[in-house]
Structure formats: C-alpha cells, structure tokens
Amino acid sequence: MSKGKRRKSSSTPAKKQVDLPPDANLKAGRVSLPDGKTVDYFEMFRGPLPPPEVFAKYKEIDPRIIETVLKLAEKEQEHAHKMDERALSAQSVAFRRGQTYAFFLALATIALTGYLAVLGKYAAAVGFGGAGIAAFVTPFIRNRLFPSPPPEREHRAVVHRKEKGGE
C-alpha cells in the first residue's frame, strides 16, 4: 500500500493529466489556506489491501468481510509469486537457448573460416573470420560501455495471517 504524491499549487491548478492504474482507489480534494492559496491533493493506494482507516470501515459493514479480503490478498500474492517464477523460468530457458545458438554459430564461423583458408582464399577467410569475431565481441563491449539499468519491481503488500485455534 502506498500513498500518492501531494501537489501544492496556487489558486489556479496546473492542467496536467495523470494516468492512474485501473485498480487504484483515489481520494482527492482541495484545501484553502489562510493566505488565500489553495492546495490540491490526492491520495492513492494500490493492491488488494486498503489503508487501515478504510479497512476499519469495512468491518462496520460486515465483520466477516475482513477475513474475506485477507484471503483474497493471500490468493493474489500466491498468484503473483507463481507468475514471477514462470517469467524467471522462461527467461532462463531463452538465455540458455541463445547461448546454445551462439555456440553453434561460432563453431560454424570457425569451420567456414578454416575451410576458406585451406582453399587458399585468405582474404575471404580473414574477412569472414574478422566479421565473425566482431559479431561475437560487440555485445560484450556494448554491455560494458552501456549497461542496462536494473528492471523496476512493483512492491506488493505482504500478508501474514494466523489461523484461530492454532498455537
């Protein structure tokens, strides 16, 4: 659960459109200050669990609703973990497949370069071998010079629940 940003403005609000996630709950308002200025604000939370003050109001409607919401949050968390595991597994398989293809392509490049050299076509062998080496070395150099930033992770609320009647 995270709160949104608060934006201060003068009496004329800034005209900036903000795209909100479809599952976001939003609370917004405008407060007038003693000096005549106004402050526009919004608060937002994402995820399966609402803020505690909202959660307490749910209990007023139906005392069993809290247990239901917690169960739903646990199911959502389990699903998110399964999806993360599947994505990681798929990335691992793709990475291994790419390394295998690169290995066989390198072998083919070396074999063809040697074959051209045996035929006496030294210029073609040097050109083909040089192009092959450049093709395999370039990604390593590029990754050293321009490293990619780490991927952003979405933070999820962690749900801990104790069963009644247990310890």
Rounded average pLDDT per 10-residue block, the chain, 167 residues: 44 47 58 77 71 81 85 89 93 92 92 94 93 88 82 52 44
Query: In the chain, how many domains are there?
Result: 2
CA distance 122 to 10: 75
- What pLDDT, on a 0 to 100 scale, did the predictor assign at position 6? 45
Same domain, 36 and 98: no
- What pLDDT, on a 0 to 100 scale, did the predictor assign at position 2? 43
- What pLDDT, on a 0 to 100 scale, did the predictor assign at position 152? 66
Within a domain: 119: yes
- What pLDDT, on a 0 to 100 scale, did the predictor assign at position 117? 94
Global pTM exceeds 0.85 = no
Beta bridge partners of 38: 32
Same domain, 31 and 91: no
- What pLDDT, on a 0 to 100 scale, did the predictor assign at position 27? 62
Phi and psi angles of residue 49, each rounded to the nearest 5 degrees, phi first: -110, 130
- What pLDDT, on a 0 to 100 scale, did the predictor assign at position 15? 43
CA distances from 148 to 91, 142, 144, 152 (A): 16, 10, 9, 12
Residue 4 structural domain: 1-11+21-47
Beta bridge partners of 29: 41
- Contact call for residues 20 and 26 (beta carbons, < 8 A): yes
